[in-house]
Structure 1
Amino acid sequence: MKKYGTDHSPRPAASAESGRPSSARAPLRLAATLAFAGFALSVVAGLLHADTASANDHPATFAEYARSGIWTAVHLAQFAGMALLISGLLVLLVVLKAPGGAMAWTARFGAVAAVAALALYAALQAVDGVALKHAVDAWVVAPEPAKAARFATAEGIRWLEWGMRSYQSFVLGVALILTGAVVVGAHRISRLIGYLMALTGLAYLAQGWIIGAEGFSQANTIPTLAGIVLILVWSVWLLVSAWFGKDAPTRGR
């Protein structure tokens, strides 16, 4: 018998979203924040990098590197920036949950390429930020009879840097192209962000080819600037979309 004033009917559970922001976008916000923070840190570190001399003028460049008191710190910051950017790409690939089939494999290969790009960048910074610095310091203070040998050592390390930078640019370019393809196919965020990522990847492929063929020549200026501008645009767009945009409807529901 039902008592007056007593209601045993089930009540709807309180909405988890009432009074608090939805947590569904938290991983996307993490990805966007990591990517933008990595780009910003890389730009700041790049501005502090000693590069007033022509990079392919090795005597002038090596002398400038030897005078730099923050060389190792700058390269550590550059590595941290790349690590943040790559982490953002990896989180983004997980967040987008690419559908099965070819798109899922694209996401997997994109993640592998991103991790490989970070590993290559770590090796690159060890060569450039540590080995080359010691080599140019030794060349500057070497007695005159030993200077030629010391310079040859530093130049050999420089050529090794060219090779590592070339292949790191190739692999990073592939990672960006594949990630861009996943962004386009997932329909979670604007597909234009994916297209811009892919264009950034093409810019890095061009950088890799030029550095491998000519070193740090003037021919690499346009691909380098294009890569910087494109990353700025899509990382800011992704950041704004993640923090202030609305969730796209999930397909299949």
Structure 2
Amino acid sequence: MTDTTTTNLSQRPVLILGSVSFIAGAIIMVLSTMIHPSGEDPFNHPLVLAEYAHSELWVGIHIGQFVGTMMVFVGGFVAIYRLLVYSESSIISLLAWLGLSLTIITASTFAILQAVDGVALKFAVDSWIASPEGDEKDLIFRVGEGIRWTEYGVNSVFRLLQGTVAIIFGLAIAKNLFVNRWIGVGGVIVGIITVISGIEVSYFAFAYPNFEGIRGISMIIFLTWVVILGAAMLKKTFVKRI
């Protein structure tokens, strides 16, 4: 793909795939997260793990988050890679390859996160709640708490990778101009904030609910950015083709 504002006929399916993946994936992610149990202090393990144990939708919520995130990364960002990799600029092409590599790693990390949080943790907390009072119950709680700590670690790495993907593709988009330059600049800013949220989780875990603080801000602006990017890609399918 050359650095131009026109749309090649062969690019149209990729633009449609990317736009639909970004927009639909972000919507699924938001809806899934909105119904995620969040009534208790996420850092108060006895209360929050009991809340998770009583959630009948827990596994389904995390499957929804998984599907939405895979659409964003496997559908959306891979489409961006495809649109950028054949650029006449070697720098843009290199950024596209680097972005693709990080996209694969990020999507894989999120899959692990959902396996830990959405499946393993649920089995542990259900077993804890169902067990009789005594040493065994305390032991099972510690197992669940250990899984929760693992979730903190994987979540922090995912956020670091997620932010880096936004920065890399943001830089490439800003230089390539296949959509508005400011969308690329926005991606860089969103990525930096997301990386900071990953560092925060590394040191402070989940110190507050999902939609609050820098964790909440990073989630909201990242999903807003991919929706804007998806809309710009969809708009480009209507641009005069050559």
Shorter-normalised TM range: 0.7 to 0.9
Alpha-carbon shift at residue 248 of structure 1 (Å): 8.8
* 1:94-137 Cα distance to aligned partner (Å, 9 max, x none): 11333342322111111111110000000110010111001111
Larger radius of gyration: 1
- Name the TM-score, length of structure 1 as normaliser: 0.84
Could you say if the C-alpha distance between residues 209 and 132 of structure 1 is closer, same or farther in structure 2, counting changes exceeding 3 Å? same
Q: 2:58 maps to which residue? A: 71
Decide which of 213, 216, 224 is 1:222's aligned counterpart.
213
Alpha-carbon shift at residue 232 of structure 1 (Å): 4.2
3-state DSSP class of the match of 1:92? helix
Alpha-carbon shift at residue 211 of structure 1 (Å): 1.0
Work out the CA distance in 1 between the residues paired with 2:154 and 2:101.
18
Alpha-carbon shift at residue 29 of structure 1 (Å): 2.5
Aligned AA for 2:218? G
Work out the CA distance in 1 between the residues paired with 2:21 and 2:230.
9
Identity in percent: 28
2:197·2:218 contact (CA, 8 Å) conserved in 1?
A: no
Could you say if the C-alpha distance between residues 229 and 153 of structure 1 is closer, same or farther in structure 2, counting changes exceeding 3 Å? closer
* 1:176-202 Cα distance to aligned partner (Å, 9 max, x none): 110111111111110111111122211
What stretches of structure 1 of length at least 5 have no aligned partner?
Answer: 1-21
Decide which of 70, 74, 79 is 1:91's aligned counterpart.
79
- Name the TM-score, length of structure 2 as normaliser: 0.87
Following superposition of structure 1 onto structure 2, how do residues 50-69 of structure 1 map, counting pairs within 5 Å? 50-69=37-56
1:166·1:209 contact (CA, 8 Å) conserved in 2?
A: yes
Alpha-carbon shift at residue 78 of structure 1 (Å): 0.5
1:188·1:248 contact (CA, 8 Å) conserved in 2?
A: no
Could you say if the C-alpha distance between residues 168 and 61 of structure 1 is closer, same or farther in structure 2, counting changes exceeding 3 Å? same
Work out the CA distance in 2 between the residues paired with 1:164 and 1:68.
22
How many matched pairs?
A: 230
Could you say if the C-alpha distance between residues 100 and 244 of structure 1 is closer, same or farther in structure 2, counting changes exceeding 3 Å? closer
Q: 1:29 maps to which residue? A: 16
1:25·1:247 contact (CA, 8 Å) conserved in 2?
A: no
Alpha-carbon shift at residue 240 of structure 1 (Å): 3.1
1:200·1:226 contact (CA, 8 Å) conserved in 2?
A: no
1:89·1:114 contact (CA, 8 Å) conserved in 2?
A: yes
Following superposition of structure 1 onto structure 2, how do residues 115-130 of structure 1 map, counting pairs within 5 Å? 115-130=104-119
Aligned AA for 1:216? F
3-state DSSP class of the match of 2:218? helix
Could you say if the C-alpha distance between residues 144 and 239 of structure 1 is closer, same or farther in structure 2, counting changes exceeding 3 Å? same
Alpha-carbon shift at residue 249 of structure 1 (Å): 9.8
Alpha-carbon shift at residue 230 of structure 1 (Å): 2.2
Provide the alpha-carbon RMSD of the alignment.
2.2
Work out the CA distance in 1 between the residues paired with 2:172 and 2:128.
48
